[in-house]
Amino acid sequence: MSSKQIVAETRSRLVRNICVYCGAAQGADPLYEAAARKFGQTLAQNGVGLVYGGGATGLMSAIASSVLANGGQVTGVIPDFLVNREGIQPEIQECVVVGDMHERKRQMFERADAFVALPGGIGTLEELAEQLTWVQLERHTKPVVIADIGGFWQPLLQLFAHMRERRFIQSPFEVRYLVAEKIEDILPMIETAAAKAALLGLRKETVDPRF
């Protein structure tokens, strides 16, 4: 087996499912929905499963339906109080109904090998911030990608820069994340980061992220 084949096989083992955080609304720019559908197609075509919030509205529905339409695997995790409000995406292969938001996030963490934040609201921001905190505190080494579609996350990235300038983010507790402006860059970024972590012996397969 060639070195390239070994790297490709390593990547495929490391990145089997990706958790995507995104809005339960479509947002003001059609670019957001188009990006969600394109990433769903990318996941399915590359044999990578989607883990997401389970809802049938907004960008959540867009990415899940795109994965399904392209023959991919979808796992939705939704708290029971949101079932009537957001609905459950039809035809997903696995739907996990949990009791609260904490269990939802834990289930999504355990089922995913990486995390991607598409445009979204407060819930998306909170989920992203939690993963960034866990990485910062070395609770896990799974890649986290901020999908800066149409510059959506620029205010947040500027806030991070402000925090560094004011020395609230310092080495060795840096906030480690990847930024992708194009959907087609996300999966290669994740695969490369996961393979690098594995080769360096940094990857933690089973970590309890609770503090």
Mean pLDDT of 81-104: 95
2 found inside a domain = no
Q: Which domain holds residue 72?
A: 13-198
Burial of 123 (0-12, 13-18, 19+ CB in 10 A): middle
CATH assignment at residue 54 = 3.40.50.450
Through-space distance between the first and last CA atoms of the chain, rounded to whole angstroms: 42
187 found inside a domain = yes
How many domains, the chain? 1
4 found inside a domain = no
Residue that is written with structure tokens 């355990």 in the block: 110
207 found inside a domain = no
130 found inside a domain = yes
211 found inside a domain = no
Enter the tokens of residue 186.
């996300």
Q: Is residue 6 very low, low, confident or very high in pLDDT (cuts 50, 70, 90)?
A: very low
Q: DSSP assignment of 139-163, as one string?
A: S----EEEE-GGGTTHHHHHHHHHH
Report the alpha-carbon distance of residue 209 to residue 202 in Å, rounded: 16
203 found inside a domain = no
Query: Tens digit of pLDDT for each residue in 64-80?
Result: 999 999 999 999 999 99
Question: What's residue 125's pLDDT?
Answer: 98
Q: At what angle do helices 183-199 and 30-45 cross, to 10 degrees?
A: 50
Mean pLDDT of 156-161: 97
